[in-house]
Each structure stands twice: as structure tokens, then as C-alpha cells.
Chain A
Amino acid sequence: MIELIVADRCTDCGTCVEVCPANVLDAGQGGLPILARVEDCQTCFMCELYCRADAIYVAPDCDRRVTVDETEVMASGRLGQYRKHSGWDEWWDRFPNEQWLMETVFRRAGEAAAQAKVTSADVIRTK
């Protein structure tokens, strides 16, 4: 669930409030957006992806709150990592969209599984 908005980075642009599909955030009064309904967070990481200031951290835990240390998260390089690997905004030319490889992976897995079957059948036969 969404656990952290870094005050020093947030530009209060309002995007996270707008794009959150679960309406977790409220606009702050001239300051940080408010984590108003964290229990509704669906852990989809969309707020992070749309945050150009790399100010948001979503913990992967979807069924429990976890404590997040701001200094640690800042130092970890994890802020903005999803946006970067997705090739969004300024990262567009360095991280290509390779979703198309998904079908290659499934094909190779199918071939590997078929191969494994043949091999184990052979073992049984020669035993």
C-alpha cells in the first residue's frame, strides 16, 4: 500500500490525487496530498508511475501496513525506479518496452516442460 510521500520532493501538482483509481488521496491545503484512505489502496503502483517528482513510495504489501523509513527509502534508489524502468518521461529512450518478449518466455517454458517430460519418460523406460 502507499506508505510515503516525500515532502522535500513533492511539487503538489495533484496528479496522484487525480490518477489514483481507488481514491486514496485528498488534496492537501496548499501542501502535501493527504493519505486519506490508505485502507482502500489496491497496491497497483500507478501513483508512483505518474509522479514525475519521484516522491511516492508504495510498499508491495497489500494486506498489511508496514513502517517505512524515509531516509532509508531515499538512500535505496527505489523512488522513481518503476517510472524509470517503464521508460516514462525523460527515460523514454533508455528503457525500451519489451513486453513483446512475454510470449517468447511462455513458448520457451512450454518447450522446456515438454523436454523435461520426454527426459523423465526416458529415465523410467531405461530403469
Chain B
Amino acid sequence: MKIELRHGAGGADTAGLIDSIFARHFHNAVLDKMEDGAVLPRPAGELVLTTDSFVVQPLEFSGGNIGRLAVCGTVNDLSCMGAVPKYLTAGFILEEGLETDTLERMVASMAATAKEAGVSIVAGDTKVIEGNGGMYINTAGAGIRPQGRCVSAANLCPGDQLILSGTLGEHHAVILSSRMGLQTSLKSDCAPLNAMTEALFSAGVSVHTMRDITRGGLATVACELAKASGCALAIEESALPVSEGVHALCGILGLDPLTMGNEGKLLIAVPQADTAHALATVKAVPYGENAAVIGTVCAGSGVTLQTAIGGRRVLSPLRGEGLPRIC
């Protein structure tokens, strides 16, 4: 069956769609009440809120899909603030012509990813617009930050070490290869990272800053952190983990792994004394096995890369469009 405008009209067709797909897959005690809003217990600690919209093309790609991405993106934003992600809302904008089977696969994937991340999808909305069978998802997320966790882009200090939680560029490479019709064995790294961030806090690591590396890549994130903290970042090219597949694609297409997007990687800044412990902790959790120390925070400003061949390069944020609709 294909989605038609009637599915978004708010009547029986909308209710049918909600019952047959959304309620069935997202099912939990709060959502099942089907009220106009989710009533949630008041948390202890600080409430952290975030929202993100997902418009990736194609909807399904090697290693993930728009549904998994919509959960991971919001969970990871909360996690990077030191929060424990708890609740998500999901808003769907569907284009007429979308196959309900496709929609159901995306929703099932969201449900599975939410379960993996330990979050509940407690409210939602669906609209249908004219179009060509596409779909877009907005997720908002609420998390609770326990007392004493002070994680912020402004917290970088000279002497901090930078840990990258894994290899660069997979998600970007997968989306690009898919659009170009290239056959590769690459998989998107799209993953929820809250287990990784919780492991760091549980291990007693004094985390100063965490950021997930998405559009714009490591170079853009590093420049943002340098600016927010008033510090300089020095990165070692030879320490950067890049998979063979991404390296090969970059060689063919003239891409730079430093400005390619991921959807399951963190840049983490910790005091020097905690570095070895933090690295071992990240490497021991899922999605962290290729983590590496990639650089240092220094006094000054801007981001420099010590290149593998012995040169030095100033890194700038990605400019211009990059690759459109990557997440």
C-alpha cells in the first residue's frame, strides 16, 4: 500500500496508520495511553532537551536507515551533554506515494534502536504532504544529567588530550557511494553512543568535552570546540583512524576524511592524567574498538594538523554545501 494524503488528514485513516504501524512498534506504557501529551515523572538532576530533523537520501543505506539515524542523532546529542537519554518524540512528514512497507521498516528500526539505547518514544505526530514517496523525521529528546557532570564545549583546557572514538567518514562515504551507484563493502557507522558516554562517567573519567562528529566532519567539530573554549587544538594526522574502504574512496573522489560526516563517532577531551584510562574504557565498549588519541589541546586559537608527511596544515570548518542531505 502507498501513503496517500488521506493518511495525514487526522481522521480514521490517520488513526489506522497510527494503530497499524506506530503504536505497534513504539508500544510503551506512556505512549499507549494515546493522550495529547506524554506525562512523565519529574526527574532528579538537570533536564537536557534537544531536537533534530532527518532528511537523508536515500532512506535506506548500508548499515542503517533514516529511522535508526533519527534515534541515534538525538540520543547522541543528549549523551554528549553528559545526560542519560530517557524519552524521545517522533514527528513524521511523509510524502504521498511512500510505501507503507518502507515506513514500517523505518519505524521498526527506530523501535529497535530505541530499545538498544534504552529510551522510550513517548509522543509522535504524522503529516502527509504532496511529493514523491519520501519521508522526513524529527525527533526531540529529553535526558537527565546527574549532578556533578559538567560537560561543555567551553571546558577544554590546555593539556587536555583528544580521543576519537573510531574511524572517520563511514556514514558520508556510504551515502555518497549509494548516490553514485558505487558498490562498496562500507557500512554506515550510525549508532547510539550513550553506553560509551556512560561508561566514561562510570569509570570516573573527568570528561571535559564531548561532541559527536556529524556533518562537516572532525575538522568542523574541532574548529567549533577551539572557538567555544578559546583554546588551540593540535591534531596528528598519522594518529587518525581511517578505514581502508574510506581511504580508497577518498583517493578516487578527492575527498578529505577530515570533513566527512559520521553518525556514530565522538571527539572526547579529557585531562592528560585520565587519558589512558579513558581510552581503555572507550575501546572496551561497543562502537569504540578503533578509538585513538589523536591530539592535544594547547593555549592559543585555531586547529592545526601535523600531516603524516611532516607538514603542517591549518584546519577550517567545511564550507559550502558539502554533501547535501546526509542525515
B is a partner of A: no
Q: Chain A: residues with CB nearer than 8 A to chain B?
A: none
Q: Chain B: residues with CB nearer than 8 A to chain A?
A: none
